[in-house]
Amino acid sequence: MDEGQIQEISNAIVHATIEQEEVSHDVNPEIEYWKSVVLCSVLGPNPPLEVIEGFIRRIWKAFDIDKICMVRKGVFLLRFNNFNDQLTVVKRGVFFFDMKPFLVKPWNEEMDINTEAITSLPISARFLDLDIKYWCLESLSKIDSILGIPIKTDKYTKEKTMLKYARLLIEC
């Protein structure tokens, strides 16, 4: 059979012989192929594929990217050539595109990429005039935990160099 050509199988044979293990055997190579994928989305604007592709290749130039595809308006699929690159990108957390959250979610075999919804959202919170005695990471984490899941602080809060406000990223 030529590459890319699919073979016709009689309906009777398909219905008579399909079993879960046969289906698993068929999809396992695809699961393996797609396991180094992330889904990406920008909250707000819907930039064209070319713009997102340039952005991704710039911020992740150190990684071995195989392909970038548009799934639907505003949602992009990015496949790395190796799984470790995917893990590293996902662990880095939140990214920003034009000052808007650029969400990155690892693909898994149970995910429907056509209907996958956003269930949480990273927000930046500023705590104005927060007394300096609360600027340790433990106290900031407790304050953040009231609002959501603490993700990280900005450079100035971490280094305690701009004391007008503490800024933290929280997943809500």
pLDDT for 18-62, tens place per residue?
555 555 667 788 888 889 999 998 887 788 999 999 999 999 999
- Cα–Cα dist 30/111, whole Å: 14
- Cα–Cα dist 30/17, whole Å: 21
Does 142 lie in the same domain as 102? no
* CATH number of the CATH domain containing 42: 3.30.70.330
Q: Which domain, by its residues, includes 154?
A: 122-171
Does 130 lie in the same domain as 77? no
The answer to whether residue 18 is domain-embedded is no
Q: From the CB of residue 166, how many other CB atoms can be counted at a distance below 10 Å?
A: 25
pLDDT for 82-101, tens place per residue?
999 999 999 887 788 888 88
Average pLDDT over residues 111-135: 76
- Cα–Cα dist 26/11, whole Å: 17
